[in-house]
Structure 1
């Protein structure tokens, strides 16, 4: 990492980066920004969590002026990512008067039309809705676009957006600058580079393998019927700050979220059948720490950028190694450490071995904590919290109440009662989940990653 000072950025952008707490630039930013500022096309091979939004966002803000025309477009695979990217671009452009507007499916057109009337300089959009505005609605004009960014291009190709991407590019000026970011370098990505980019510079490193020592990777061998209890025991002993639990189906999201809530955990679920208002509300709760556990499907969680996720649980093991890489990449971000824990049934051991082979990283076997260990950990956590509070600034706030209680009761009885109220011992409320259909095997064995 190096300082942003070395990149010779404008004063408004430097002021914005300082207000955002950015001090050192990442490798992908050091590699991308100088080239982009010179007008070069760039392919950035960068997984999520490496600072790629700022890598293209900083030069994008630098080349835009505050005239009322659309000068840059970012295409993203999901609505969540569109919202997150636009938020960061608005922060980077806050002192230069540059504004970004997210455009995505699932949101009413009237709100998007209202936003467009305010003349943003940057549009961050999902492919289908962007194409609709460019062609049917004719509410977005691409004549003044100087820069196009394809963010998480491999995800967009996997989701079948390739035709929309080509159609959008045809509506933009041929002399535009194009930046493409992808975690992998598939033949389809190379085809886009050859056909639609001008001698692109390739920066970063291909990331088909898990190269994140900050993520401690574990697996738990467990029967399908024992997964829920195993998850609860681990939550009780490891006490994650924020955790994402990945499952395969929408039904599993609803069932697992309901089960965790019944057991007393602050859990929310996220899947594709939810309307955008509900999804935004759930993500706001999770980001703000009002809920501890987010249960999600792969599609629903694509593009999530939350820096404080400490644990990722693969409640249902992903069917291919690339999905595993994307899932665990939700933790260990921004230089922080993270833990991934994968639940594996006997039938899924071969799939576990395939993931280890492709990622070139062995997962450590983890035993499910016993009920006694879970209780001991909850007790230790509360006692540590009490001791810490005893030396805090607010420790004497209720001293008069404490003295009054001690006049009528002995101290041991009072402390014992307080611990009884504070300690959350493991709940034994019965929870039954619908077992998923056996997946993962196709003709010729497990699905291997794209070559």
Structure 2
């Protein structure tokens, strides 16, 4: 790459076709390697020669090197150095890397460098697809950070946000698009003028997670609308049959970058276990949290229902906690993450929606209230702490039903968990009754909330039915409408509690409004 091409214009110019970018066919034709896949070492920076490498040594432009320095990136990780080199050679690549290894930078750095070195920077030239909204926001932040000084524009397309607002962002002709497969497909189908016919590079990040979330059909539909002459990078924590099918469909003669051996955790992570009887696990968790004052803690649970219950119980017990789960809308998820990052709450109770991609600073402790079934999920969970060389702590609460699962995780990771000190059974007994009361209160609150939502839903349905009859000019409201004629919320609730006063049979209760209307008309005619 010539120095003239690396020189950055004062502002990004648009409406280009990618400058001197070569076709995939010509670039690959120059490659003389007879090896289809190549494996490149470990991401640990323990090699002196590798430590001496800088971003300048890898051929990145001066402006991008300055942005890396401002972000505090002094040296590239092994996956970043390898990916930058492979991208410069014009090859597709598959990156298999552990969480926390810097793989977001592994594709962001070469892509931003390519954008900055084009004579005319094309818009809609990079598409990054990720499995979750939170990861999309994090990736967007990385691109903005690296391209802020030159006005790099990035659009985020995720579910839970207004499609009209996203369409407005697309109309501003962003250079990079980051999104989830479902929403990207929606915009390709419904947003006028949005096409990716000039796409230069496609990135599939956390591809294994996307396939686990059943995004396969959406990804296939998107791939059909992308140009064949493109560069593709696929990143995954694991290799599987599904990943193999995806790479065959989307990549051409890729280089495989195998970084870090499978099923390992970083050396700076200390791993503990707390054994608790199943019925007393919440009591042990409460006591543990009271001893971890000042630390920022992520607590992982198996299901959204368990997250809800644990969050309510901990708040009743006086802990500052918020939930983070997939069923929450995007605004509430953003609020929870922001408050946790700012220190306004010190613990998040999460489902596995938070196990990947969330780079939350100052996460001191990860607690597994429910152990995951797969060791890969365990590694991703505990990978939320001890990032970038910092120290961290992982604590596993296990009952009599989890011993075999913990032993399996220890065997596959090669790390033995040690017993967490300073939790005496006598201390647990002192808080046991209080915690049980808090748990029962949380369960009652959940049931009341569910009942309120059910009543509100029924009230809306009845109001809609009555409005429909009025709009049709039907003077005969019928028996069912008369029954709920004054169906405001309080009246509806009272009538639900005293259903027997209407003396209706079960068969009559399940008749539709139209059936009862026809019955009333037939009775009127017979008279």
- Say which of 398, 417, 426 aligns to 1:344: 398
Query: Secondary structure of 2:57's partner?
Result: helix
Does structure 1 conserve the Cα–Cα contact (< 8 Å) formed by 2:355 and 2:380? no
- Mapped to 2, the partners of 1:109 and 1:310 lie a distance apart of 37
Cα 1:133–1:87, aligned 2, differ >3 Å: closer, same or farther?
Answer: same
- Mapped to 2, the partners of 1:323 and 1:133 lie a distance apart of 31
Does structure 1 conserve the Cα–Cα contact (< 8 Å) formed by 2:355 and 2:384? no
- What is the CA deviation profile of residues 2-51 of structure 1, one whole-angstrom value per residue up to 9, with x for unaligned ones? 42232121122112112211111111111111211332111111122111
- 2:83 alignment partner in structure 1: 32
- 1:93 alignment partner in structure 2: 147
- 2:67 alignment partner in structure 1: 16
Does structure 2 conserve the Cα–Cα contact (< 8 Å) formed by 1:31 and 1:204? no
Query: Secondary structure of 1:160's partner?
Result: coil
Query: Secondary structure of 1:85's partner?
Result: helix
- Mapped to 1, the partners of 2:377 and 2:355 lie a distance apart of 11
- Select between 294-303 and 279-288 the one with higher mean Cα deviation: 294-303
- Select between 152-161 and 233-242 the one with higher mean Cα deviation: 233-242
- 2:439 alignment partner in structure 1: 432
Report the Cα offset of residue 206 of structure 1. Answer: 5.7
Q: Which runs of 5+ in 2 are unaligned?
A: 1-44, 46-50, 444-527
1:440-451 map, 5 Å = none
- 2:277 alignment partner in structure 1: 223
- Mapped to 1, the partners of 2:159 and 2:138 lie a distance apart of 15
- What is the CA deviation profile of residues 159-192 of structure 1, one whole-angstrom value per residue up to 9, with x for unaligned ones? 1112221221221110100001111111221222
1:22-171 map, 5 Å = 22-64=73-115, 65=118, 67=121, 69-171=123-225
Does structure 2 conserve the Cα–Cα contact (< 8 Å) formed by 1:230 and 1:368? no
1:31-430 map, 5 Å = 31-64=82-115, 65=118, 67=121, 69-205=123-259, 207-239=261-293, 241-367=295-421, 369-370=423-424, 428=434, 430=437
Query: Secondary structure of 1:24's partner?
Result: coil
Q: Which runs of 5+ in 1 are unaligned?
A: 375-424, 436-451
Query: Secondary structure of 2:371's partner?
Result: coil
Query: Secondary structure of 2:402's partner?
Result: helix
- Select between 255-264 and 20-29 the one with higher mean Cα deviation: 255-264
Cα 1:219–1:169, aligned 2, differ >3 Å: closer, same or farther?
Answer: same
Aligned residues: 385
Query: Secondary structure of 2:195's partner?
Result: coil
Cα 1:274–1:185, aligned 2, differ >3 Å: closer, same or farther?
Answer: same
Report the Cα offset of residue 300 of structure 1. Answer: 4.8
Greater Rg by CA: 2
Q: Relative to total residues, which structure has the larger helix share, 1 or 2?
A: 2
Does structure 2 conserve the Cα–Cα contact (< 8 Å) formed by 1:220 and 1:368? no
What TM-score results when the alignment is normalised by the length of structure 2? 0.69
Query: Secondary structure of 2:149's partner?
Result: coil
- 2:458 alignment partner in structure 1: none
- Mapped to 1, the partners of 2:426 and 2:174 lie a distance apart of 58
Report the Cα offset of residue 329 of structure 1. Answer: 1.1
- What is the CA deviation profile of residues 225-279 of structure 1, one whole-angstrom value per residue up to 9, with x for unaligned ones? 2222212222222335311000112122122112222222221111122111111
- Mapped to 1, the partners of 2:248 and 2:361 lie a distance apart of 34
Does structure 1 conserve the Cα–Cα contact (< 8 Å) formed by 2:108 and 2:143? yes
- Select between 71-80 and 165-174 the one with higher mean Cα deviation: 165-174
